[in-house]
Structure 1
């Protein structure tokens, strides 16, 4: 009898839950936001975000809703021990945000730092979860410039969702 049990998906969900809690309520979120020079009152967090211009799925994005503020912070939760197999996905995600953090279980991190050093990926940060489930910033990313404006993509996407919500609402009203 074979089992469909996938411990990696459980670890990923645990990491996402811990990250969300830390981004909203703890020191890590405050430090990430301060480093990006964003203000709390204009902050938005989206979970499971896929930009229109890409197939890359961010576990979270944090961005400013303040007009003329174009700063996107992306978070990818990575549970795979073979980080080199995720290299293309990581580079694609990096091209879509100003700062990228990989969120990992620190007990699985040995190959990640090798990848970051081998590929000279200094613009990628690392947030790690320790055994006691506390999260810590293990590596701070360097800010870099990106070619396209994902900030506009965020708002286009939000407007599409609002249009869909309106059409659903209209369906229930008229039906």
Structure 2
């Protein structure tokens, strides 16, 4: 049941993120609440709560630095509600590997990525502020839900 619910959540989010680059709160919040309730009824509510908290902690800095959207963060937290802290940690790592693989496969974006890294370092060293690129000047915009779905499939097939 957990795996089916998680797969349905990630599949719906991936379709939405691929089409609109947005993961709706109408999708994440009900699934997060359902995951917490389901695990609470099974007697594993602590695992669900630690999964949500771990997902929040893992995605806090990427969200603050605009590497992830808040919808992506809430999606990871909803996945944490259906799993546990150890599983959501692996999903997060696998999804980052998937994102890096895609970034490496797009060498035409490397100069812009390098320029953004230089701008980030210059802003911090000169003014102790992070100068982050806007959405239009970003080197690579990826639908994170698609990568989270790929991470989930990889994790389930690997086990």
Name the structure where strand makes up a greater proportion of residues: 1
TM-score when normalising by structure 2: 0.28
TM-score when normalising by structure 1: 0.26
